[in-house]
Amino acid sequence: MGENHPIREKIKSICRYPFIRALLFFLFLMVFVLPMMTLFTSNRLDISERENGFKKEPKNTLDAVYIGSSNAYTYFQPPLAWNDFGIAVYNYAVSSLRMWGIKYRIAEARKTQPNALYIVNINSFKEKGFGAADYAVIHWNIDYMPFSINRFCYTYDMVRGMGIDFFDSWEYFLPMIRFHSRWSSLKSTDYIHPISAYKGAGAEINYINNISDNSNKPLKNHRTGNISDHQKKVLDDLMQYIDREKIKVLFVRIPTMNEENEWESLNTIENILIERGYDCIDLYDVFSELGLQKDTDYADPGHTNIHGSIKITKYLSSYLIDHYGFQNKRGSAGWESWDDAAEKYIDLIKISALDFEINHSPRDYNLKLSNAFDVKQEGTNQITILWEAIKNADGYLIYRKSKASGYQWIKIAEITNINKTSFTDTDLNESEEYTYLVVPFYVQFGERIYGKYDPLGINITL
């Protein structure tokens, strides 16, 4: 194109106007620079997947959107809610969600799901300050949301509320400031935006599999206490927003084992919400009804493992159907992605959950082995499992997992002779590790009732 080409001259004449130059620069930012910003983040794939997956859900299709932190995606599993009840609830959650973010995450989700019920964890109103290690947490809260006025306001409120210095706050508005050096480690996969295969469910193996014994931890007290100015401001602002926009909201108190220093202030917040007429459910109050076991159902004091989340998901799903009239959509056209998510998630959790747990079969936690069972090698390719007989047991189930089973639990024997207290597993592979479980059961009115067992089992390598 020559120096005096008519098109070039036309462009130059247009660009003489400052407003036009500013507009073109803005368009350049929107088209080229801001999309690149998504590459320069803290690189939390699980958060990115949840965000991208949520945006892929068709408009006005979700029954409910769950807003919370890891308390959401370790306690409630959308694929299981779909598999059992045919309801579509997406975990639009982010690790360590700060209370300032609750309103903004609801606002973001309502861009595509304005008619959904919004489930909000009361636990997310915990008062948390800002320390040197918390910069990553703030990035987790913000970086993966699309650039918008909503994101800008979210960032502004968070950095102001947490008392972050003005000059230190710029990295949260433009994450590239901190993460610009990531360019040297970018891979082709970084330019692909994967979506959550499990509708925002917790898929981290440590949360599914870990066992934390919280037997000595108390359930929450019911005393109330003062709430901070920050908590009051955020709560008042959220309630005004909910009322103004006429949003359907259910507040849920999750039964964690690690918030003793927060109980009194959270009790106060819960009471305020109830007094204002919002729907609230406190899962501490139904702890026994849930069947939660402190010694086996938590991955750590703040998060349930899959054994606990199966129980909570069933209870909360039933509550949603009973109180909000959600319909079972299983088998309906257009919901195939949810069928696929449920199938994949159930396949994933079999590394820890047993078939009768997933199917919600009746349980009796008083029925358990009096002493840990034992395993011993018999020759080069046999293992014998031994246990002590239990009074009132009608039989025992033997489960095994190994590399050959994809580390999923497989039921290998049913022992109905109550006098038999051993089983020999044969034709095993030399040098391979095997893990075994023994589960007692009894039969009542023709139905099998399953007892308590040690989810970790016992390992042995031939």
For residue 244, the model assigns a pLDDT of: 97
Using a 10 angstrom Cβ sphere, with 0-12 exposed, 13-18 middle and 19 or more buried, the burial of residue 361 is middle
Q: What is the mean pLDDT of residues 374-382?
A: 87
Summarize pLDDT for 74-133 with one digit per residue, the tens.
Answer: 999 999 999 999 999 999 999 889 898 999 999 999 999 999 999 999 999 987 765 555
CATH architecture, domain 38-353: 3-Layer(aba) Sandwich (3.40)
Considering only 175-184, 225-234, 399-408, which range has the smallest mean pLDDT? 175-184
Helix (H, G, I), strand (E, B) or coil at 459: strand
Among candidates 434, 389, 435, 452, which has minimal Cα distance to 415? 389
Q: What is the mean pLDDT of residues 323-327?
A: 95
Summarize pLDDT for 440-453 with one digit per residue, the tens.
Answer: 999 999 999 999 99
- The residue with greater pLDDT, 138 or 403, is 403
Q: What is the mean pLDDT of residues 41-61?
A: 87
For residue 60, the model assigns a pLDDT of: 96
Both tokens of 287, joined, read: 């702890």
pLDDT band at 17 (very low <50, low <70, confident <90, very high): low
Beta-bridge mates of residue 448: 443
Q: What is the mean pLDDT of residues 200-229?
A: 92
Percentage of residues of the chain with pLDDT beyond 90? 65
Q: Is the pLDDT of residue 378 over 90?
A: no
Q: What is the mean pLDDT of residues 174-201?
A: 67
Among candidates 383, 388, 352, 354, which has minimal Cα distance to 372? 388
Contact in structure between 350 and 360 (CB atoms under 8 Å): no
Query: Which pTM was predicted?
Result: 0.88
Q: What is the mean pLDDT of residues 308-325?
A: 97
For residue 313, the model assigns a pLDDT of: 98
Q: What is the mean pLDDT of residues 373-399?
A: 91
User: 374-461 has which fold?
Assistant: Immunoglobulin-like (2.60.40)
Q: What is the mean pLDDT of residues 290-301?
A: 96
Both tokens of 90, joined, read: 């997406």
Both tokens of 256, joined, read: 């964690």
Instruction: Classify residue 12 by its DSSP letter.
Output: H
Percentage of residues of the chain with pLDDT beyond 70? 85
Residues near 454 by beta carbon (within 8 Å), at least 6 away in sequence: 296, 369, 372, 437
The number of C-alpha atoms within 13 Å of 426 and in the hemisphere containing its C-beta is: 1
Q: Is the pLDDT of residue 391 over 60?
A: yes
Summarize pLDDT for 419-444 with one digit per residue, the tens.
Answer: 899 999 998 888 899 999 999 999 99
Strand ranges of the sheet holding 64-67, from the earlier edge strand across to the other edge: 89-91, 64-67, 117-121, 249-253, 279-282
Please state, rounded to an integer, the average pLDDT across all residues of the chain.
87
For residue 11, the model assigns a pLDDT of: 52
How far apart are alpha carbons 20 and 344 in whole angstroms? 51
pLDDT band at 2 (very low <50, low <70, confident <90, very high): low
Contact in structure between 457 and 427 (CB atoms under 8 Å): no
